[in-house]
Amino acid sequence: MAANYPTKSVISSSDWQKMESVFRRLKTVCLDMNFPIDYVWQNIPVGEYLERVRQLRCEEKLTHDQMRFFDKLDIDLQYRERHWYYMYERAKQYYERYGHLSVSKKEDYTLQKWIGSQRQKYYEGPRKRKNRMDRYSPLSKEQMQLLEDIEIVWDASTKL
């Protein structure tokens, strides 16, 4: 199920400072800081703030310090699943524009790399990284179906 992302993922520096202040105050009264999008605290749309931050994380637009701020507050930015759907939407837009998913590094390196990792997940093959073996988490049936709906070619050696 794809998430409904906020349309405005940019946060001004004044909004950011306000959000940091709100989250710091909330941490003193809440144990669980993972608020739903409709959560409002003292007339402040905290849930919407958190959704905007999560979207920025998906778009890889948060600074290291901003990510550390949320880590220190133990706020889950739900990166993995959200990022998958964010990248899927990019792949879908590419497919709708060009009719295939054969993305070159020059066109969109990040998308090309993500599509390659989906192929590896499909085959559940191990990969070697920094002298250790990792396994990709397998794709869910829903994820496989979504990718097949936009005609992913699982075997990269297959020509279009």
If you write DSSP's letter for every residue of 93-135 in order, what string do you get?
Answer: HHHHHHSS----HHHHHHHHHHHHHHHHHHHT-EEEETTEEEE
Model confidence band, residue 34 (pLDDT cutoffs 50, 70, 90): confident
Model confidence band, residue 89 (pLDDT cutoffs 50, 70, 90): very high
Query: Is residue 9 scored above 80 in pLDDT?
Result: no
Q: What is the pLDDT of residue 76?
A: 83
pLDDT digits (tens, 9 = 90+) for 110-158: 999 999 999 988 887 555 556 665 655 678 889 999 999 999 999 877 6
Model confidence band, residue 2 (pLDDT cutoffs 50, 70, 90): very low
Q: Are 90 and 104 in contact (CB under 8 A)?
A: no
Q: Are 55 and 8 in contact (CB under 8 A)?
A: no
What percentage of the chain exceeds 70 in pLDDT? Answer: 84
Q: Is the model's pTM score more than 0.75?
A: no
Q: What is the pLDDT of residue 1?
A: 43
Q: What is the pLDDT of residue 3?
A: 47
At position 9, the amino acid (one-letter code) is S
Task: Supply 33's token pair.
Answer: 């800081």
